[in-house]
Amino acid sequence: MELDLVGKTAVVTGASRGVGLAIARQLVAEGVRVVGAARTITPELKEIGAHPVAADLSTPEGAEELGAQALAALGGVDLLVNNLGGGDDFTLNGFLATSDAQWAHSFEVNLFGTVRVTRRLLPSLLERRGSVVNVSSMSARLPGTGPIEYGAAKAALNAFGKALSEEFGPQGVRVNTVSPGPTRTGMWEDADGFGARLAEAGGVGHRDFLAGVPAAMGMSTGRMVEPAEVAAVVAFLASDRAASVTGADYVVDGGGIKTV
């Protein structure tokens, strides 16, 4: 399917690795001029042809800096992909062991960074009748499957996107959400990542744990999601092929969510 994205501009947050890197790579391949933002710029982000911007988007200053640099580099923004998020550093000991600081950090990374970046770039998106795609998680719909503060923050992100779609849809800006299930990224696969810590807590080897994730999460496909599969959905939603799609949540979870 031809998406007709050549010459469009995009900002992708959390773009240095995993799903964010896959999204940036897909958009560049479609002919989009991409600013890729991350706290740490990786060689992979530089290699795909995106314009990298180093910014800590868990702070107001970082969001402001990204907005200024993105507009200077692109001249205007047609697409904002809020992929910023985190699940690597959460406690595994349940609600009573989760501190106020951990709750605050989760909401800063998974919600407020997106709120600030969106606020900063929305005037340009309105001018260009652009679109926003927020990357959430199946944990927003199944909050018991992950750390409590992470699921709550992602559920808030889903509500944020729906409210934006209602307010700004009549002004020409579409806002959608993509919610992946367990995806083959460093969060799950790195030796010091969240998946490795879950495996250790469960007393199983990391590789054996990963092999069992699809069954444990009820994924009908029998495998974890690939980052490129999430990126393909984002690219479609960014295009005019999805001109009548707004306020939607596209779940890419291998069939893990069983409810209608």
Q: Report, as residue numbers or ranges, the catalytic residues.
A: 150
CA distance 137 to 111: 12
Closest by Cα among 9, 133, 13 to 65: 13
- Residue 110's Cβ-count burial label (10 Å; 0-12, 13-18, 19+) is buried
Q: State the virtual CA torsion across 25, 160, 39, 131 in degrees, nearest 10.
A: 30
Rounded CA separation 166/188 (Å): 34
| DSSP assignment of 158-201 | HHHHHHHHHHHGGGT-EEEEEEE-SBSSHHHHSTTSHHHHHHHH
Distance CA 231, CA 26 (A): 6
Run of H or E including 107: helix 100-107
Residue whose C-alpha is closest to residue 67's, from 86, 85, 53: 53
d(CA 203, CA 221): 26
Nearest to 118 by CA among 104, 136, 132: 132
